[in-house]
Amino acid sequence: MGCGKSTVGRKISRFAHLRFVDTDTMVEQYEGATVADVITYQGEEYFRKAERKVLESTATMENVIISTGGGLPIWGDNMERISQLGLSVYLRRSPQNILSRLSPYGRQKRPKFRGLNDEQLLEFMTTHMAEREPVYLQADVVLDCDQMADNEVIDAILEKIMNLKR
């Protein structure tokens, strides 16, 4: 959550001339509501099932960069499915680094971040990231991004993509 998946994904898609898709945006389009509203009114289980449907809909897409929500890989067998569909990348950042990157809008749009002060948010992220990390580490590429600028992250991922095309 908040590690820069969508930002980096969009930039990579422009550089590599690939289509960019964000699964949260796709869920919002299918549901006709924001992710926050889907979770609030339908529940997290419903949202996770909607995410899985969106993930399956990407199976036929080619030449695309897909940014997933932070919880998508950890639900059910989604990480396994992601790996079957293409190259998976984990942008590994510390909770402190993510907190420093979050804008007020970025905090507000994430339902689980709302109403938390910096200390509470740091504690929340530390706990959730520790729970999610074993699944995230199954990604094909793990990039430790804390000391990297976005352009360095992009270069590293583009290099991996170009190596695949060879």
Query: What is the model's pTM?
Result: 0.88
pLDDT tens-digit map of 58-105 = 999 999 999 998 899 999 999 999 999 999 999 999 999 988 888 777
pLDDT tens-digit map of 132-157 = 999 999 999 999 999 999 999 999 99
Angle at 73 between CA 68 and CA 158, to 5 degrees: 50
Q: Backbone dihedral region of 4: left (phi > 0), alpha (psi from -120 to 50 degrees) or beta?
A: left
